[in-house]
Amino acid sequence: DAGVIQSPRHEVTEMGQEVTLRCKPISGHNSLFWYRQTMMRGLELLIYFNNNVPIDDSGMPEDRFSAKMPNASFSTLKIQPSEPRDSAVYFCASSLTSGGSETQYFGPGTRLLVL
């Protein structure tokens, strides 16, 4: 049973470049979350989708960040242009909405380094 799949696992880019992170949630899950993990701020929720619709994007740092979920099996997080302070580990998680008892399952993360 495949878990949440993220790609790439590692990304090194230069400031100003566009970065696209990808996520495939667990099959059958209808909620998807993007998190960012840094030493300073810990784990932060960036955006939450339910049934492919963005429900809460209040955690997205600024307009340089955007996320899409074109279908139930794929989501992207894009940073354009990237900056060194965007360096972090980005996690995708998915869950099945079930009246409150849902559990989020995390992918392995994408380690992003912006030079």
Partner 1 sequence: AQSVTQPDIHITVSEGASLELRCNYSYGATPYLFWYVQSPGQGLQLLLKYFSGDTLVQGIKGFEAEFKRSQSSFNLRKPSVHWSDAAEYFCAVRGGSNYKLTFGKGTLLTVNP
Residue 86 backbone dihedrals phi, psi, to 5 degrees: -80, -10
Please tell me whether residue 91 binds partner 1 under the rule CB under 8 A. Answer: yes
Closest contact distance (angstroms) between CB of 43 and partner 1 is 4
Closest contact distance (angstroms) between CB of 40 and partner 1 is 10
Closest contact distance (angstroms) between CB of 36 and partner 1 is 12
Whether the CA torsion 1, 6, 35, 38 is positive or negative: it is positive
Please tell me whether residue 61 binds partner 1 under the rule CB under 8 A. Answer: no
Cβ contacts of 97 within 8 Å, gap of 6 or more: 30, 31, 50
Please tell me whether residue 57 binds partner 1 under the rule CB under 8 A. Answer: no
104 exposure class (CB count in 10 Å sphere: 0-12, 13-18, 19+): middle
Closest contact distance (angstroms) between CB of 93 and partner 1 is 8
The correct pick among 12, 14, 27, 56 for binding partner 1 (CB under 8 A) is 56
Give ∠ CA 54-36-21 in degrees, rounded to 5: 70
Please tell me whether residue 42 binds partner 1 under the rule CB under 8 A. Answer: yes
Binding site for partner 1 (CB under 8 A): 4, 31, 33, 42-43, 45, 48, 50, 55-56, 91, 93, 100-109, 111
